[in-house]
Chain A
């Protein structure tokens, strides 16, 4: 699976200004709504589901990265967006550090395999220091998108 298979390009946020986990999640879900990947009626439900999921264990997995996610019946395929928080967001991460890179995923309830493959794709690329460092430095949607494409094509190794 490639990042481009599930990241919605128009929803990428090169600079999200959020002071809390909830604020960051809301901004990212709104961004998916604004490019018609999520129906407006389902925005609040998806945000609530993601935050409920966070209560079970933070998806701030360390090294400045978080992967908030949920399943939701309103989507018929796996969708995601990427946000960069230059100031850092308190995500109650496992290592206690602020989060600077966020991948938010929404997947159909009946496709757990897709969700795991997306996590594999994200994790695999985040292990690449070049990808992480370049991503944190990106300032425009185009730059982020190009980085995702380069990662997909293994051009950052």
Chain B
């Protein structure tokens, strides 16, 4: 009986972990806005994660794994975006994406976008 309860608890915990949603709010600090190179970097990070990763701007939500969707955010300098991931490891992928934004995409090309 005890082992069955433990197994049930394990399944519930695992299910919760899979369904966990993590969100963080970030601001675009690139003078040129979120153009193709930073979009590519986002896709690269997001594609390394099995669950869903979305980026929201107001009511608009795009798949962070799709390079053709990200530019449709038209995220200019100063735009506030919400990063959202679901699934196991969601916290880690959000952390990596936040780091990208905070490092200004590793201070990528400041003037030659």
Query: A residues within 8 Å of B by Cβ?
Result: 49, 52-53, 56-57, 59, 61-63, 67, 69-71, 94, 112-113, 115-117, 119-120, 122-124, 126-127
How far apart are B59's CB and chain A's nearest CB, in angstroms? 16
Query: B residues within 8 Å of A by Cβ?
Result: 31-37, 40-41, 43-44, 67-77, 108-109, 112-113
16 A-B pairs with C-beta separation under 8 A: A53-B112, A53-B113, A56-B109, A57-B108, A61-B36, A62-B67, A67-B36, A71-B112, A71-B113, A94-B43, A112-B33, A116-B34, A123-B69, A123-B70, A123-B71, A124-B72
Q: How far is the CA of A121 from the CA of B109 in the complex (A)?
A: 23
Q: Which residue of chain B has its CB nearest to the CB of A49?
A: B112
Q: How far is the CA of A120 from the CA of B71 in the complex (A)?
A: 5
Task: Tell me if B's interface is mostly helix, strand, loop or mixed.
Answer: loop
Q: How far is the CA of A57 from the CA of B73 in the complex (A)?
A: 20
How far apart are B27's CB and chain A's nearest CB, in angstroms? 16
Contact B69 A113 (CB under 8 A): no
Contact A56 B75 (CB under 8 A): no
Chain A residues whose CB sits within 8 angstroms of the CB of B33 once the complex forms: 112-113, 115-116
Nearest 10 pairs between A and B by C-beta? A123-B71, A57-B37, A119-B71, A56-B109, A61-B67, A127-B68, A112-B32, A116-B33, A123-B68, A120-B74
Chain A residues whose CB sits within 8 angstroms of the CB of B41 once the complex forms: 57
Q: How far is the CA of A62 from the CA of B65 in the complex (A)?
A: 12
Contact A56 B37 (CB under 8 A): yes
Contact A56 B108 (CB under 8 A): yes
Chain A residues whose CB sits within 8 angstroms of the CB of B43 once the complex forms: 94
Contact A112 B36 (CB under 8 A): no
Chain B residues whose CB sits within 8 angstroms of the CB of A124 once the complex forms: 72
